[in-house]
Amino acid sequence: MSHFIDVAIFSGIVLVAILLLARYPNSWLGRIAFERLGPVPLRFEPRSRYILRWAGYAADWFAQAVFAFLIGWLAWGTAPWLADSLPFIVLWLVVVPLLAVVSLVGTVIALVAYTWRAHFGAERRVRAASGVVKT
């Protein structure tokens, strides 16, 4: 029962911290918490190209998660006592694989959106209609 109380207290602290950060978004911590992550759209960049850059960004996160999982595997192989450490088990078997799955799903969604937009969507029709103007 004490674990539920600990979780409730932690959730309350997190909620208050988020509310304070939202109240002061231009503070140092507010700018860090609400900073835009990922690629920023470039001027005159087609939307499909921007989505493709997002796919690369998500794929990079997937590669980092796989690398972190392999490092955990090697650490566990060299120090078997880590299997008794709850923080290591949670990080290695829950957090890192969850990050890998989320980033892989993000990569696939971005690639599907890129393919649809560039080859079947509005950008394809616009590209096919435009051409060199002969003078």
Tens digits of per-residue pLDDT, 37-93?
889 999 888 888 999 999 999 999 999 999 999 999 999 999 999 889 888 999 999
Mean predicted confidence (pLDDT) in 89-104: 94
Mean predicted confidence (pLDDT) in 96-104: 96
pTM of structure: 0.71
Higher pLDDT, residue 34 or 59:
59
The C-alpha angle 119, 115, 60, rounded to 5 degrees, equals 150
Higher pLDDT, residue 34 or 107:
107
Tens digits of per-residue pLDDT, 113-134?
999 988 888 776 555 445 554 5
Joined tokens for residue 94? 């829950």
Tens digits of per-residue pLDDT, 6-20?
889 999 999 999 999
What pLDDT shows up at residue 103?
97
The Cα–Cα gap between 104 and 98 comes to 10
Domain ranges of the chain: 1-35, 41-129
What pLDDT shows up at residue 100?
97
Look at residue 97 and tell me whether its pLDDT is greater than 80: yes
